[in-house]
Amino acid sequence: MATAVFADTAKVMPKGQVTIPKDVRAVLGVSAGDKVTFLVEGATVRVVNAATYAMQVLQQQMAGEAERAGIAGPDDVDALVAAMRAEE
């Protein structure tokens, strides 16, 4: 998949509001009512789709948890689900 590389400019309004240009919204996959996250690294700011970013953070935090819990495959998942249902 090719990554779009372009620059766009928006004006900061008196209350600090900025309209995200249409092409940028399309790349981020956001529309009216969606949230974005601002990632500040020194003097650089990245704007990302908040839902996508939250999922990436969750995936990073969960990395390796299955192995630590002894889950090596689908049979282990089935056994864990069955055990949890038996506890209910």
Q: What is the pLDDT of residues 33-79, one digit of tens each?
A: 999 999 999 999 999 999 999 999 999 999 988 888 888 899 989 99
Give the pTM. Answer: 0.66
In angstroms, the CA 15 to CA 9 distance is: 17
Say if 82 falls within a structural domain: yes
28 token code pair: 């981020």
The angle subtended at Cα 59 by Cα 44 and Cα 21, nearest 5°, is: 40
**Is 10 inside a domain boundary?**
no
In a domain, 57, yes or no: yes
pLDDT in tens, 7-17: 999 999 999 99
Cα 47 to Cα 10, 14, 62, distances in angstroms:
13, 20, 24
Q: Are 37 and 47 in contact (CB under 8 A)?
A: yes
Per the structure, the count of domains in the chain is: 1
